[in-house]
Chains A and B, each alone.
Chain A
Amino acid sequence: KAGVTQTPRYLIKTRGQQVTLSCSPISGHRSVSWYQQTPGQGLQFLFEYFSETQRNKGNFPGRFSGRQFSNSRSEMNVSTLELGDSALYLCASNRDQPSGELFFGEGSRLTVL
């Protein structure tokens, strides 16, 4: 059974640009969550989607947005990139009921220059 797939794995952008990251959950999983991981702050919750609806949102500025498609695949977008957005962005999927037992992908490492 394939795990959570995130693309791209690595990317470099410059300040002011925008970026779109993609996540394909485990087959049959309908819940997708996004987290930002930095050395200083650890993992911080961005948002969570279930059946194409945002179920919860973290304390990030409006430059961070996401969506989920009917096949449960999800994308997140960051506009007007800042240096502080450099991080590992992790996607996690879950079955239907929220349980906290998440299956994480390997992440997309974003570097903003």
Chain B
Amino acid sequence: EDQVTQSPEALRLQEGESSSLNCSYTVSGLRGLFWYRQDPGKGPEFLFTLYSAGEEKEKERLKATLTKKESFLHITAPKPEDSATYLCAVQGSYNTDKLIFGTGTRLQVFP
């Protein structure tokens, strides 16, 4: 059964203190791994798609990487506005938008 596990559940960082969020997955055939950001009271917002091991994507202070068993979301010099829940999801089949989500990492960045 396809499964996604994220760690840690919660992370508190000082502004400027870099860190990484982990997403480990088991899926019969990975079609894509996705990172989303969710702010309180809002729906998830798409950040990145990764398709194959070794791939990396960057956006401002965020960088996502992918191996055969896990993905990391690296946050460099975070700011308070980066505070949110970060969700990882996998797509295990073609021809569907069905995603298997992890339960997320709740990130808080303090000034």
Please say whether chains A and B are actual partners in one complex: yes
Residues of B within 8 A of A100 (CB): 31-32, 34, 49, 89, 91, 97, 99
- Kindly state whether residue A21 has any CB partner on chain B within 8 Å: no
Cross-interface CB contact of B95 among A33, A35, A55, cutoff 8 Å: A55
Q: Mark A2-37, 1 if CB is under 8 A from B, else 0.
A: 001000000000000000000000000001010100
Cross-interface CB contact of A102 among B42, B46, B104, cutoff 8 Å: B46
- Kindly state whether residue B87 has any CB partner on chain A within 8 Å: yes
Q: Say yes or no: B98 contacts A58, CB within 8 Å.
A: yes
Q: Which of chain B's residues has its CB closest to A97's CB?
A: B95
Q: Say yes or no: A106 contacts B98, CB within 8 Å.
A: no
Residues of B within 8 A of A105 (CB): 43
Residues of B within 8 A of A106 (CB): 41-43
The main secondary structure of chain A at its interface with chain B is: strand
Taking the closest CB of chain A, its distance from the CB of B66, in whole angstroms, is 14
- Kindly state whether residue A90 has any CB partner on chain B within 8 Å: yes
Q: Say yes or no: B42 contacts A45, CB within 8 Å.
A: no
Residues of A within 8 A of B97 (CB): 31, 33, 48, 55-56, 92, 94, 98-100, 102
- Kindly state whether residue B96 has any CB partner on chain A within 8 Å: yes
Assembly CA distance A103 to B42 (angstroms) = 12
Q: Say yes or no: B104 contacts A42, CB within 8 Å.
A: yes
Taking the closest CB of chain A, its distance from the CB of B13, in whole angstroms, is 22
Assembly CA distance A40 to B44 (angstroms) = 17
The residues in A between 51 and 66 inclusive whose CB is less than 8 angstroms from any CB of B are: 55-56, 58
B residues bordering A, Cβ < 8 Å?
31-32, 34, 41-46, 49, 87, 89, 91, 94-104
Name 6 interchain pairs, CB-CB below 8 A, sorted by A. A42-B87, A43-B89, A55-B97, A98-B97, A100-B99, A104-B44
Q: Which 9 pairs across A and B sit closest by C-beta, in order of nearness? A: A104-B43, A42-B103, A43-B101, A100-B91, A56-B96, A98-B97, A45-B98, A100-B32, A56-B98
